[in-house]
Amino acid sequence: MSYDLYISNSGILSILIIFLAINILFIFLKIFKKENTDYKFIYGMFRTRKLLEMMKNISNSKFSKVLSTSSLILGPILIILAVFFLFFGILTKTPTYVPALPGVSYGPITLPIVQTIISIFIAAFIHELAHGILVYKNNLDLKSWGFFYLGPLIGAFVEPDEKEIEKLNKKEQIKIYSAGSAINIIAGLIFLFLFLLYSYLISIFNLATPYVKILYTLPDTHAYNVIPNNTILYSINGNQILYINQIEKVLNNTKPGEYVLLNTSAGLFNIELSDKDGKPFIGIVTKQEYDYKVPGIDFLESLLFWLFVINIGLGIGNMIPIYPLDGGKTMKSILEIFLNEKQSRKITLLISTILLILILYNISFIL
């Protein structure tokens, strides 16, 4: 499967509009909350002490105990998973670590602009909230919390006193550093349940009709510039196509060099199959679409799905043991249980350097 990077003209326009809206928001913050706002056009940060009292209150609740225990258990597990997915991606040439850029397509996967931005903000907010709760649980204070933007992306942050955290025992350090990813995994699984339940309700009430859209064709294939972009695919060789996985099933009965007949909304196309790693390949990038009978239900379904994906992705990706990511800090605290600070720092730096190089190599699969 190809994961080539692609973004449509409409996607670029939508991103620019959102970027402009975010800049306008930060201009107002800079005017009315100057002392709390840093603004540099493509980057902005807003700090506040509001909601810190809420974090303190949650830190004294039963939820904080559950979060504390979950973080201690999930932290080391997520580090192992993060490294596993990195090596899995390298061995299978799959870009498992790519930036979640709204409106961008990675082969057949397109990140919807609005849903992705909302999902990133929510995932980042609860991630930092969890860090703050466990900081307060250890009777430490936060300087502030807030939100920032970098380009069209919006995120959140908390500002603890890192030196005070380093004075805690290693067990508590691991809990604090792992808390953000732990809550992302928990939230991601909750959103997955809600997505599956919501999709099931849509299905049983017959509120959506599935179809496959051809987004664009790939160079160096016989379909390139033959089939128009954004064309609906009805069938291949007379086999009805409603879902993307049906395409592969049809192609399993063909060989490179053979011709297949595509029935589309733009007409019939007789396309010679290309050879991709010894397998037949049409040269089309497709997207699963649905014709919804009730306006708005598609947006909520998509939002629930991307809330699941972004939370799980952030939860695992942030625990890759690269300093200063949470995974790197957690690994350093674990190493210091067995080694002195100087030894653990050297090992952390070495592992961080190696894994950073491997991540850049993994990202190169989309280029």
Q: pLDDT tens digit string along 275-330?
A: 988 899 999 999 888 888 888 898 999 999 999 999 999 999 999 999 989 999 99
For the chain, the domains span 5-203+298-366, 208-292
Q: Which tokens is 68 given?
A: 């504390």
Is it the case that residue 237 has pLDDT exceeding 90? yes
- The single residue listed with the structure tokens 């979950």 is 70
Nearest partner of 176 among 162, 188, 193, judged by Cα:
162
> What does CATH list as the number for 208-292?
2.30.42.10
**pLDDT value for 2:** 63
Task: Tell me the pLDDT band of 353, cut-offs 50, 70 and 90.
Answer: very high
Q: Is 41 helix (H, G, I), strand (E, B) or coil?
A: coil
**pLDDT value for 51:** 81
Cβ–Cβ < 8 Å for 326, 248: no
Is it the case that residue 5 has pLDDT exceeding 80? no
> Strands 279-281 and 274-276, how do they pair?
antiparallel
**pLDDT value for 281:** 93
Angle between helices 113-137 and 62-92 (to 10 degrees): 130
Is it the case that residue 367 has pLDDT exceeding 80? no
**pLDDT value for 316:** 96
CA-based max dimension of the chain: 70
E strands along the chain, which residues?
5-6, 37-39, 43-48, 105-106, 109-110, 142-150, 153-160, 208-217, 231-236, 239-240, 259-264, 267-272, 274-276, 279-281, 284-292
Is it the case that residue 223 has pLDDT exceeding 90? yes
Q: Which tokens is 305 given?
A: 């799905």
Strand partners, 212: 233, 288
Cβ–Cβ < 8 Å for 327, 321: yes
If one compares 50 and 319, the residue with the highest pLDDT of the two is: 319
For the chain, what is the total number of helices (H) and then of strands (E)?
A: 10, 15
Q: pLDDT tens digit string along 149-194?
A: 887 778 888 888 888 998 999 999 999 999 999 999 999 999 999 9
Is it the case that residue 42 has pLDDT exceeding 80? yes
Is it the case that residue 221 has pLDDT exceeding 70? yes
**pLDDT value for 154:** 81
Distances (CA, A) of 88 to 9, 84, 123, 362, 366: 33, 6, 25, 10, 16
Is it the case that residue 78 has pLDDT exceeding 70? yes
Q: Which tokens is 184 given?
A: 């992302």
Q: Determine the Cα–Cα distance for residues 74 and 69; give it in Å rounded to an integer.
A: 9
Q: pLDDT tens digit string along 84-112?
A: 999 999 998 888 888 888 888 887 688 88
The 3-state secondary structure of 298-343, one letter per residue: HHHHHHHHHHHHHHHHHHHHCCCCCCCCHHHHHHHHHHHHHCCHHH
- The single residue listed with the structure tokens 């939508």 is 14
Is it the case that residue 215 has pLDDT exceeding 70? yes
Is it the case that residue 59 has pLDDT exceeding 90? yes
Phi-psi map region of 23: left, alpha, beta (phi>0 left; psi -120 to 50 alpha) = alpha
Nearest partner of 283 among 210, 227, 323, 239, judged by Cα:
227
Amino acid identity at 200: Y
Q: Is the alpha carbon torsion for 111, 115, 118, 119 positive or negative?
A: negative
